[in-house]
């Protein structure tokens, strides 16, 4: 019983020493946050409040702490102004577009879908080309001439009939109807023959072109071989660190190329001369 009483006394003394020894200001400052929050046990609260009554430095810190809570909360929001939202939207939009481009590139590198995507982009570039309108007008003119102005054109009488219809207007409207009927009949009856003629003509032209191509290839073969060899040697010399020798070989390649070019076109000149007057 006495032992237990001794232990209680020792614990009490140690507890009091713990709470009161060392720097009283340091101890009070440690406990100030809990005091401000109302979370301090009554013994400690009395000790700290007793210290604050006599210590102006710690009292000033306690006052500052009790007040700063609402000041800190008022710093939680900083308005960046109207331009901020627009700037963020511009950046996220730009990234979205870039991501779409990346995805499109990934698709372009895969399978049939990629092939279709490449074809689509090629057409898009072609249509967007500055001279597309001129090319389209040229093709349209050729088609109109082929359909209406040549001796074998299926609609060669159509312009005359349309002109008659316009000149006879409005009494000549039936002529327009006749022209349309005639054109339709021409298409129905003459399409098969036209297709056959076009196909045979195309085959003959293809054969001629193939033969001509073979002739030209044979004439220029030797020079093209020298061109390839010179180019290979030029690259080798360059890779071996001999730029002067590489330049000489490149010059040889240039001359071989010129010769090959002349041989190629000489074939056409010969054939032109052969069929000339």
Partner 1 sequence: MRQEQGRVCSIALGYVGDQDEAFDVAQEIFVRVWNRLATCTDLERFGPWLMSIARNACLDHLRRRKARPPRQDVPADEMHDLRSGGPTPEDTWLSTSRQRLVHRALGNLSDINREIILLKDIQGLALEEIAGMLELPLGTVKSRSSRARTELAQAIVDLGGGPDTGQEAVS
CA dihedral 239, 240, 243, 246 (to 10 degrees): -70
The span of 34-42, 141-149, 213-221, 235-243 binding partner 1 (CB under 8 A) equals 34-42
Radius of gyration of the chain (CA): 49
Cβ 95 to partner 1 shortest distance, Å: 7
DSSP conformational letter for 23: -
- Indicate which single residue of 27, 29, 175, 237 sits in contact with partner 1 (rule: CB under 8 A): 29
Q: Which of residues 38-77 bind partner 1 (CB under 8 A)?
A: 52, 56-57, 59-69, 71-77
Integer distance in angstroms from the first to the last C-alpha of the chain? Answer: 145
Q: Is 87 in the site for partner 1 (CB under 8 A)?
A: yes
User: Which residue lies nearer to partner 1 by CB, 1 or 78?
Assistant: 78
User: Which residue lies nearer to partner 1 by CB, 76 or 192?
Assistant: 76
Spatial contact of 243 and 249, defined as CB atoms under 8 Å apart: no
CA-wise closest residue to 255 among 230, 276, 218:
230
Q: Is 156 in the site for partner 1 (CB under 8 A)?
A: no
Q: Is 91 in the site for partner 1 (CB under 8 A)?
A: yes
- The count of residues interacting with partner 1 (CB under 8 A) is 39
Sort 200 into a burial class: Cβ within 10 Å, 0-12 / 13-18 / 19+: exposed
User: Which residue lies nearer to partner 1 by CB, 33 or 120?
Assistant: 33
Q: Is 95 in the site for partner 1 (CB under 8 A)?
A: yes
Spatial contact of 187 and 179, defined as CB atoms under 8 Å apart: no
CA 253, CA 15: separation in Å to the nearest integer? 102
Q: Is 85 in the site for partner 1 (CB under 8 A)?
A: yes
Residue ranges binding partner 1 (CB under 8 A): 29-30, 32-36, 52, 56-57, 59-69, 71-81, 84-85, 87-88, 91-92, 95
């Amino acid at each position: 019983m006495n032992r237990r009483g001794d232990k209680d006394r020792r614990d009490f003394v140690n507890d009091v020493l713990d709470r009161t020894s060392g720097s009283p200001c340091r101890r009070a400052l440690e406990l100030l946050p809990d005091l401000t929050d109302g979370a301090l046990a009554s013994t400690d609260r009395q000790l700290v409040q007793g210290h604050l009554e006599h210590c102006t430095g710690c009292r000033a810190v306690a006052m500052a702490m009790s007040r700063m809570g609402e000041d800190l909360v008022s710093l939680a929001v900083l308005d960046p102004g109207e331009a901020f939202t627009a700037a963020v939207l511009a950046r996220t939009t730009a990234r979205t577009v870039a991501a779409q481009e990346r995805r499109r590139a990934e698709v372009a590198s895969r399978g049939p879908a990629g092939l279709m995507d490449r074809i689509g982009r090629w057409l898009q570039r072609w249509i967007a080309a500055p001279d597309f309108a001129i090319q389209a007008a040229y093709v349209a003119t050729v088609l109109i001439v082929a359909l209406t102005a040549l001796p074998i054109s299926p609609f060669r009488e159509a312009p005359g009939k349309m002109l008659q219809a316009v000149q006879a207007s409005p009494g000549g409207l039936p002529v327009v109807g006749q022209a349309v009927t005639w054109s339709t009949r021409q298409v129905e009856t003459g399409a098969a023959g036209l297709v056959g003629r076009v196909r045979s003509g195309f085959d003959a032209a293809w054969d001629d072109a193939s033969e001509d191509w073979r002739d030209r290839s044979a004439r220029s073969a030797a020079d093209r071989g020298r061109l390839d060899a010179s180019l290979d040697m030029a690259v080798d010399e360059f890779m071996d660190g001999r730029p002067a020798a590489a330049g000489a070989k490149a010059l040889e390649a240039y001359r071989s190329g010129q010769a090959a070019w002349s041989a190629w076109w000489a074939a056409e000149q010969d054939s032109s001369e052969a069929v000339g007057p």
